[in-house]
């Protein structure tokens, strides 16, 4: 049985179909979840995709954080379920305090839309479990507020706890320590500015995003093999999708 | 209860880059305003709040700023209050 990924759609989200398609190419199943839904039943992992949730009014992610679905997303995250925020999704995760720091406007006030060379910094996250540390991936970025910032003690914590997931080889936006993606302490919540779904087909110029999405599917299929335990990801035993669904449903 | 008009000025914290402010400042010399400096951009939000007195109104608005109107990692807020005539 394949892994099912819930792709949350807020008003103004615009990358959900790309993520659904890319997850399928990576061997999983994905379905969209409307932001007003309070349940994530039957979902093994959640992706908050890119776009402009709630118009990015006030600040990117500031209002999306209060959408009804976020209570279930937080419950899934606290239960150890994989939660990945891409671009606007990363901004939402910081506003929801599921990840530290903030995404400020790019250095030089430049909107950046270009392929980015990324380096995998750790394999202790659901997005990079089983991926060789130091491996370089070519994945596009497309953002205005992607300049990750945090106070020095938070940065020290991210480094000490091995929570910097991906770094830019050539920093496109001024982010502190060249950070492209980070995780929570357990490694099951990951936010990144680059778009793996836009590097999922040879026609798009790169398939490197599938490496990350395949790692996510493997992590979701083997929730007990926490990336933090140091154990390699185990393929799904077929016991089923919805491993975290019951937990998330109970949260409502 | 009284009604208070509040003006919330959301500002980037000192040390947080303000590329919009920098860009505005850079263009000033060309307009003959080379004597102007220290340009910082932000947001202004007006709202009204019911409260017993000015202190209570301020405390409500400041809580709102902390929990929603600002991201404390990169922003702070300056709150001005004015009691409204009944």
ipTM of the complex: 0.84
Q: Do A102 and B73 touch (CB under 8 A)?
A: yes
Residue carrying structure tokens 């140091």: A230
pLDDT score of A241 more than 90: no
**What does the alpha-carbon distance between residue A87 and residue A73 come to, in Å, rounded to a whole number?**
17
Average pLDDT of chain A is 90
pLDDT score of A231 more than 50: no
Which of B43, B73, B76 has the most A C-beta neighbours within 10 Å, making it the best mutation to test the interface with A? Answer: B73
In angstroms, the separation between the Cα of residue B19 and the nearest Cα of chain A is 5
In chain A the domains, ranked by start, together with CATH numbers, are 4-251 (3.40.50.880)
- Residue range A82-89: average pLDDT? 98
Partner B contacted by A171 (CB < 8 A) = no
- Residue range A105-115: average pLDDT? 91
In chain B the domains, ranked by start, together with CATH numbers, are 2-83 (3.30.1280.10)
The pLDDT, as a whole number, for residue B15 is 85
In angstroms, the separation between the Cα of residue A107 and the nearest Cα of chain B is 7
pLDDT digits (tens, 9 = 90+) for A155-186: 999 999 999 999 999 999 999 999 999 999 99
- Residue range A60-86: average pLDDT? 97
The SS3 assignment for A47 reads strand
Q: Is the dihedral of CA A90, A136, A123, A231 positive or negative?
A: positive
DSSP A132-165: PTT-EEEEEEEESS-EEE--HHHHHHHHHTT-EE
The pLDDT, as a whole number, for residue A223 is 52
Nearest to B19 among A101, A105, A150 (CB): A105
Nearest to B16 among A62, A95, A104 (CB): A104
Q: Is the dihedral of CA A51, A55, A60, A66 positive or negative?
A: negative
State the catalytic residues of A.
87, 195, 197
The pLDDT, as a whole number, for residue A203 is 94
Q: Do B71 and A107 touch (CB under 8 A)?
A: no
Estimate to the nearest angstrom the gap between the alpha carbon of A173 and the chain centroid.
19
- Spans of chain B below 50 pLDDT: none
- Residue range A223-235: average pLDDT? 44
pLDDT band at A189 (very low <50, low <70, confident <90, very high): very high
H/E stretch holding A22 reads helix A16-25
More confident residue, A244 or A27: A27
Beta strands per DSSP E along A35-105: 45-48, 83-86, 102-104
**Residues ≥6 apart with Cβ < 8 Å to A6:** A30, A31, A32, A33, A40, A43, A45, A46, A47
Write out residues 85-114 of A within 8 Å (CB-CB) of B: 94-95, 101-102, 104-109
pLDDT digits (tens, 9 = 90+) for A5-15: 999 999 999 99
Nearest to A107 among B17, B20, B74 (CB): B17
């Amino acid at each position: 049985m394949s892994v099912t990924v819930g792709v949350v759609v807020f008003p103004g989200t615009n990358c959900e179909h790309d993520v659904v398609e890319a997850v399928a190419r990576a061997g999983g199943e994905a379905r969209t979840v409307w932001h007003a839904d309070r349940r994530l039943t039957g979902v093994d992992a959640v992706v908050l995709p890119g776009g402009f949730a709630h118009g990015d009014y006030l600040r990117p992610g500031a209002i999306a954080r209060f959408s009804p679905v976020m209570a279930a997303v937080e419950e899934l995250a606290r239960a150890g379920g994989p939660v990945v925020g891409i671009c606007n999704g990363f901004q939402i995760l910081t506003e929801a305090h599921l990840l530290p720091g903030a995404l400020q406007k790019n250095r030089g006030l430049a909107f950046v839309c270009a392929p980015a060379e990324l380096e995998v910094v750790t394999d202790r996250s659901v997005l990079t479990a089983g991926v060789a540390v130091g491996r370089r991936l070519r994945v596009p970025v497309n953002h205005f507020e992607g300049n990750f910032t945090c106070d020095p003690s938070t940065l020290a914590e991210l480094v000490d706890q091995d929570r910097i997931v991906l770094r830019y080889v050539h920093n496109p936006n001024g982010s502190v320590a060249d950070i492209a993606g980070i995780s929570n302490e357990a490694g099951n919540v990951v936010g990144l500015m680059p778009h793996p779904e836009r590097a999922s087909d040879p026609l798009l110029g790169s398939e490197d995003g599938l490496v990350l999405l395949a790692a996510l599917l493997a992590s979701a299929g083997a929730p007990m093999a926490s990336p933090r335990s140091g154990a390699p990801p185990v393929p799904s035993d077929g016991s089923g999708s919805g491993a975290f669904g019951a937990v998330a449903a109970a949260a409502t | 209860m009284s009604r208070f008009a509040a003006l919330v000025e959301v500002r980037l914290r000192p040390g947080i880059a303000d590329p919009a402010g920098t860009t505005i400042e850079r263009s000033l010399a060309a307009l003959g305003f080379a004597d102007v400096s220290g340009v910082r951009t932000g947001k202004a939000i007006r709202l009204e709040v019911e409260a017993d007195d000015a202190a209570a109104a301020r405390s409500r608005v400041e809580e709102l700023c902390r929990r929603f109107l600002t991201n404390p990692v990169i922003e702070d807020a300056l709150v001005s209050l004015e009691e409204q005539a009944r």
